[in-house]
Amino acid sequence: MDTLQNMRVFVRVVEAGSFTGAAQHLNTTTAYASRAVSDLEAHLRTRLLNRTTRRIALTEAGERYLQRCEQILAYVDQAEAEASDAHARPSGKLKVHAMTSFGQHYVVPAVGRYQERYPDVNIELTLAQRMPDLLDEGFDVSLTLATGLSDSALVSQRLGSAFSIACASPAYLERRGVPQTPGDLAQHTCLQMVTPVFPIDKWIFDGPNGEETIALGPTTFQVNVAEAMAVAVSSGMGVGLIPLYSAISGLRSGKLVWLLPEYTSQEMNLYALYPSRQYLDAKIRTWVEFLRDELPATLARDHEELRQFART
């Protein structure tokens, strides 16, 4: 028995004053309306309506039940309206995950620009190096960097790509000299970013001669956050591969020098991941669309600025 539907029929019968009037309003048959009320009474084991051939009248129990039905149906209608509105109008809390360094440089500024357009959305941003379980941890969207994606039930949108560059500080280069080829790095102190994606014992460069792999010896320093690597390199501890988004500030200030400007390394794709494409909440849809419009241009500007450093 569909109790909720039968409650709707019962309320409509009372409002119309007859089963026939209720059936006409509901675009159904008088027999269906009568059976719905009878099913309710059987379920409740209580008479709700007194019936004659000319009219119907609420019993005392029916009057009390009518009030409750009207309250319940009003709540249901409100819940349905809110859920439907969520599909049409961006509002409420949007829970977002992003990789730490990328999120700090690109996602945080994007949040501000997004909320200027959609002020009814409150964004809860979590920055973490790991890829979360979206369903178990309740994230609406994850922004992750990866060389590729494994098969999963998640929906993915590619938003662009990012890569790392070899950097050192001016002071370090004064002491140790400037490497001219990737092979020269074997004579330098190479600091290591620890990631689940790239090997820790070698660097792989893409350049004019294609792919070149440099084996690394024991390192004096390892870290898992790009900002910390940028600080270590700018303080003269050695040469490091730093993602462009974490290196660009040091390049602007002169604390970092781009080495081997014909080479890049550790290219990764940026993906927006979310649980489902069907009945997508408006705040998720507009957030992903906003990033798809905004981030490629932002990444392209940084890439263009990097080329200027190569010419200086």
Cα(50)–Cα(57) distance, integer angstroms: 5
Q: Are residues 236 and 254 in the same domain?
A: yes
pTM of the model: 0.69
Q: Are residues 94 and 228 in the same domain?
A: yes
Q: Are residues 254 and 190 in the same domain?
A: yes
Q: Are residues 213 and 291 in the same domain?
A: yes
Cβ(309)–Cβ(253) under 8 Å? no
Residue 164 domain boundaries = 90-312
State the Rg of the chain over Cα: 32
Higher pLDDT, 311 or 128: 128
Residues 94-130: pLDDT tens digits? 999 998 889 999 999 999 999 999 999 999 999 988 8
Q: Are residues 34 and 113 in the same domain?
A: no
Residues 44-73: pLDDT tens digits? 888 988 887 778 888 888 889 989 888 888
Q: What is the mean pLDDT of the chain?
A: 87
Q: Are residues 174 and 70 in the same domain?
A: no
First to last CA, the chain: 78
Q: Are residues 306 and 182 in the same domain?
A: yes
Q: What is the pLDDT of residue 149?
A: 76
Q: What is the pLDDT of residue 311?
A: 47
Burial pattern 249-270, b for ≥16 Cβ within 10 A else e, equals ebbeeebbbbbbbebbbbebbb
Domain of 297: which CATH number?
Answer: 3.40.190.290
* HEC sequence for 227-280: HHHHHHHHCCCCEEEEEHHHHHHHHHHCCCEECCCCCEEEEEEEEEEECCCCCC
Residues 274-306: pLDDT tens digits? 887 566 788 998 999 999 999 988 888 888 888
